[in-house]
Structure 1
């Protein structure tokens, strides 16, 4: 097992041998571990890297599965609307309901996860996703379908709980890549969904899209039950032990099995009613969380959710595409754009932080340094939106708006990784509450597009509609981000840490 803690208090004494001095010098040059792990082998920070990565993969899959459940039906709006006797625009409302409840559900799940553990929440919500997806598949009317989709909307706890789990497992200097992997899977879950949904909807019917989602949910229930240990851990009770001894017991299979229980009550925290809403709402008071959340949410809505709820109608109208064409076309464009964007985001952010650390004498730079990486997304995302809107309005070839989608989604992924890592680095002690606010803003802003986008575009034209969206996201929402780049550190120092920080275990 790799060594996780570093003794930073040792000094190189004159009487030491040269090889000892060299060893100590190398030791001091290593990055300071934040937070400092305890000596308890049950502390997730001390777990083997392979186990941490295995857990991260499961969290990423759960995040992607939430997007899959939400968006897999999107290419099949046409046949579903025909069978249920509704319009394709009305058919999109069942996806809108799920998107809205994706943002509300974590207000229930996060407080429960902070008290009873991450694992039981992941298990229960994935089981809920299975049951509600199966119910959607067998709905006999649009009303029954809406009812089943309401329950499905509460499923993706990983949307907000995933970043908190990353904070449980990884040190500060490791979280950027871990969060990058999570966010790209979170984004691409809803992008891969239409590819799968288009194929299934075309050849098996729209009901089988929900059946496929239910099968995936059932598989993840089994995987989580056997392979996802509890990551919630309180380091407060192990401080004295860590001070007495620097010897750590190895992580064993028995210890792993002990973390697979169905119930893990945190004895230091009691569940209170105010914990269900107030901790996340309280984060609105902190500009380093509020403004990145609003900027990210608006851009995510324009570049990801907007195509999801409108593309079936638009591409049937302009290009007469069927279910399979729609799923393959826009699903592939968004997936490719997001995947390439995450590769670029990781390289850009890592390079910026590395240079800043070198200028800072090896010390971790202020989180505001990460915001410099946002410029790539700030330029490319509105460019993609404009390409999409103008090429639709002036009836170009079908590939042109898809290229616009891909460019916008490339920029979105850079913005996503940058905003998430910045806000979590500012207040790591309230990681789950910060993630919950991000998730709520993203889903509630995004759920509104289905109600007015098509009508607005028919009235003023697609070119001016998407010009309006580009100005809202990349001008109005970006102004506060510029303020954080200049004064973010001063504002955080003046405001101090969040008052509800003691309610979180980090």
Structure 2
């Protein structure tokens, strides 16, 4: 009787705090499986502030329009930041001539932006798990805007490279936030579609950048590459402040508990996260959060192996992006503008791979869920979908390399790079979905940990692209890349598939 009165009093204080009906046990079981942590039951403690099954403030229960609005804002923000990473590619010869840069310095000006995205997420990801996704996104938007403008005003190679590094730090938040935000809003059975929709704009940006850059380099100064993208970023800053909503559930619940304590005058209301951190100082909480990506990289074999797999493909992608324009201008004697148009094949392959990959991920998950009606499929069940993507990507690399080697008609070369990007994107989506599922509690930190090695590969691979193709040619150069990816790559994926569950079980806590 006393419990009923207490629950009634709580309900009248705020409509979101309600007693769970018997059917809520099913929902609690699902939440426990997805977060992989014990969740206290509100029936056991009426002062525990938690989401009820149909709680409208729970991001997983938001209306689909709000979910897709947040996803679209994040995607459009990612589009601009990734476009800036590649927009310089066609103009590199012009920039090198203006600033008297050698080949290494030229590639450094291109890749330094990506190098910064290896370091930024290690700080940004954990901070988003302390202060929420929204303030981190807004702050990084403004930071990126300031230093991207500075790139356009650089008057020497040192200023350009420095501004690119600082702009990259701001841009890197998208890599730390994407998995966390999507994991906040979408359940495992919606994972593929969510990743596929998010990827639409960023993947387009990786190819639209060189196309726009090619025409700007040919018809005006290269500085307009940065000024125009800064204008777009200024618009995105305004849109983010008006459309984006906080998605991090622990922070939403914490704010709710603070309102309850203030309105009722009762300090007994608390959240599960507050109870876990009640004996820790703010400094301890932040220090523990900031060290989490590093601890994941050092102590979690799953993160180590997944990072190696992803890093190789990400490095190849940036190697292709950095060297593709040179193929057309130096070997096919195309203009700078026309060389940029060939990046449409890159965008087409990645977009097709993301959309088909998202559909296949969800369809495969539904099939597994139907077989295991009484349990949730392990995250490792995502990994077999990497194998077909790998094979398709390697075939595409061989087609691209050998058709370019013998100067076959440009259509054949574009078909090869289309197939290569299609396959790599499909395999990459499966890996990203796996990390989100396996580290649902700290997705941003987990993705920041994997992004570190990915960004280092994206930074370093383009640096040896000129030497690779000048020494071996496009045919044998790409064959070498396939050999490196095929023999170590397949065993790594197989090991992760078979041993991932055991590795995660035996790894230290992510707290």
Q: Which TM-score applies when normalising by structure 1?
A: 0.82
1:88, distance to aligned residue in structure 2 (A): 5.8
The verdict on how the C-alpha distance between 1:276 and 1:363 changes in structure 2, with shifts beyond 3 A counting, is closer
Q: Distance in 1 between matches of 2:472 and 2:220?
A: 38
The verdict on how the C-alpha distance between 1:8 and 1:463 changes in structure 2, with shifts beyond 3 A counting, is farther
For the pair 1:299 / 2:309, whether they are aligned, the reply is: no
Partner of 1:46: 61
Aligned residues of 1:115 and 1:271 also touching (Cα < 8 A): no
Q: Distance in 1 between matches of 2:196 and 2:180?
A: 14
User: Which residue, 165, 175, 193 being the options, matches 1:177?
Assistant: 193
For the pair 1:167 / 2:177, whether they are aligned, the reply is: no
Aligned residues of 2:197 and 2:355 also touching (Cα < 8 A): no
Q: Distance in 2 between matches of 1:128 and 1:445?
A: 24
Cα deviation code 1:11-34 (max 9, x no counterpart): 9xxxxxxxxxxxxxxx97999454
Aligned residues of 1:293 and 1:419 also touching (Cα < 8 A): no
1:219, distance to aligned residue in structure 2 (A): 0.8
For the pair 1:314 / 2:327, whether they are aligned, the reply is: yes
Q: Distance in 2 between matches of 1:138 and 1:76?
A: 16
For the pair 1:341 / 2:357, whether they are aligned, the reply is: no
Partner of 2:462: 450
Q: Distance in 2 between matches of 1:87 and 1:314?
A: 18
For 1:139-158, list aligned pairs within 5 A.
139-156=154-171, 157-158=173-174
> The residue matched to 2:309 in structure 1 has which SS?
helix
User: Which residue, 450, 463, 473 being the options, matches 1:438?
Assistant: 450
For 1:211-222, list aligned pairs within 5 A.
211-222=227-238
More moved, 220-229 vs 280-289: 280-289
1:313, distance to aligned residue in structure 2 (A): 2.6
Q: CA RMSD in A?
A: 3.0
Aligned residues of 1:297 and 1:446 also touching (Cα < 8 A): yes
Q: Distance in 2 between matches of 1:490 and 1:70?
A: 38
Partner of 2:244: 228
> The residue matched to 2:441 in structure 1 has which SS?
helix
Q: After TM superposition, what 4+ stretches of structure 1 lie above 6 angstroms from structure 2?
A: 5-8, 27-31, 266-269
Q: Distance in 2 between matches of 1:56 and 1:79?
A: 37
Q: Distance in 2 between matches of 1:134 and 1:289?
A: 35
Q: Which TM-score applies when normalising by structure 2?
A: 0.81
For the pair 1:500 / 2:510, whether they are aligned, the reply is: yes
In the comparison of the two structures, how many residue pairs are matched? 455
Partner of 1:72: 87
1:6, distance to aligned residue in structure 2 (A): 13
Q: Distance in 2 between matches of 1:478 and 1:385?
A: 16
> The residue matched to 1:299 in structure 2 has which SS?
helix
1:178, distance to aligned residue in structure 2 (A): 1.2
1:235, distance to aligned residue in structure 2 (A): 7.5
Q: Distance in 1 between matches of 2:105 and 2:231?
A: 27
